[in-house]
């Protein structure tokens, strides 16, 4: 730790300065996460990856262009029916869009997302999954060896 002079109202005082001290004074601030912003970001990302315009998607979803723009910018809270309509227009399952939003929220909150299959799921369906994966793997190998 290092001492540093600090002048407060003309009076010089010595203050401890160091990494440990800064960590104690400034608790880690959490980023405020707004659900409608994350939903809008995901919808915009999907639309842009497809190379589509707001006009095309709004027409397909039967939503006004201005309203869709506000949803994408996180200014409007979209209903589940509206989100379903937009996802249908983007040809993306609503569940996939919400999973992406969930992953982004977890990341912003500092929650780790496991990359493993839960034990209950693997116990119940593990044998079937293993057989399916092995079949897919064999087919892939056969296709590459041709």
Residue 14 pLDDT more than 60?
yes
The predicted-structure confidence for 16-34, as pLDDT tens digits, reads as follows 666 554 555 555 566 678 8
Question: DSSP characters for 97-143?
Answer: HHHHHHHHHHHHHT-----S--HHHHHHHHHHHHHHHHHHHHHHHHH
The reported pTM is 0.59
Residue 98 pLDDT more than 80?
yes
The whole-chain average pLDDT of the chain stands at 78
């Amino acid at each position: 730790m290092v001492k540093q002079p600090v002048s407060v109202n003309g009076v010089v005082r010595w203050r401890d300065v160091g990494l440990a001290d800064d960590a104690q004074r400034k608790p880690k601030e959490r980023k405020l996460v707004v659900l409608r912003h994350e939903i809008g970001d995901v919808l915009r990302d999907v639309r842009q990856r497809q190379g589509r315009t707001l006009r095309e998607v709004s027409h397909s979803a039967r939503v006004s262009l201005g309203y869709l723009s506000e949803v994408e910018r996180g200014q409007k809270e979209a209903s589940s029916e509206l989100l379903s309509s937009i996802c249908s227009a983007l040809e993306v399952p609503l569940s996939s869009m919400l999973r992406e939003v969930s992953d982004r929220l977890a990341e912003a909150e500092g929650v780790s997302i496991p990359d493993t299959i839960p034990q209950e799921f693997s116990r119940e369906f593990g044998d079937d999954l293993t057989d399916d994966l092995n079949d897919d793997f064999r087919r892939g190998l056969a296709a590459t060896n041709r």
